[in-house]
Amino acid sequence: MATYDMTSKATAGVNSDSIATLASSSESYVTYGVEATLDISKITGYTCVDGDIFQLLEIPADTLIVAAGAEVLTVFDGTTPTVDIDFAAGDDIVDGGVVTATGWLASGTNGQAMTVNTGAANTFTAHVTTTDTIDVKLIAGSADVTVGKLRVWALCVDTSAKGGVTPTEVTRDQLA
C-alpha cells in the first residue's frame, strides 16, 4: 500500500501543485464547489497495490463540507475494485463504492455521499479546522488496476473568522 499526493507536482504524473486557499471574497462567507479527478492511467509508473491512497482534493482550514461525492468517468479495470472516500483514507463520504461502471457512486453502508449533514446518525466529519485532503482509497484485492478515472467533488463553506480590519476610507471618498 502506498500514498500518492495528487495535490503536489512532486508526484509523478501531477502537473501542478494544489493550493488550499479559500475562494476570494471580502467580509462574507462563501459557498463554493471544488473538484479533482483521479486518472489512474496518467500516474507515471503506477503499479497497483491493494489499499493505495490518493490524496486528491485539498480542503483549506476553516471549511464546512456541506456535501461531497464522486462520479466514475472511466470504468476501473481489474478484478472488482472499489473505493473508499473520506479524510484520512476513511470511508465516511463513500464506503465501498463500485468503480466498475460509470456514473455516480452510492454512499455505501457507512458513507454519506451527497447527503447534507443533518442528524446525529451522520458520521461524516464535515468541519475541517486545519488544511486536509479528501482521499480516495483503492481496494483492489487482485492488485490489477491499470485504468480508471474518478471525479471527486465537495460543496464547501468558508467558516474562517471575518472582520478585524476597519476600513478608513472607501473608493468613493478618494474620488471626491
HSE-CB for 88 with a 13 A CA cutoff: 5
Q: What is the mean pLDDT of residues 122-148?
A: 86
Domain-by-domain residue ranges, the chain? 3-11+29-160
The lowest-confidence range among 40-44, 46-50, 162-166 is 162-166
* Domain at 3-11+29-160: CATH architecture: Sandwich (2.60)
Q: Give percent of the chain above pLDDT 70.
A: 69
Q: What is the pLDDT of residue 155?
A: 87
- 105 confidence band (pLDDT: 50, 70, 90): confident
**Mean pLDDT across the chain:** 80
Report the predicted TM-score, pTM, of the whole model to 2 decimal places.
0.75
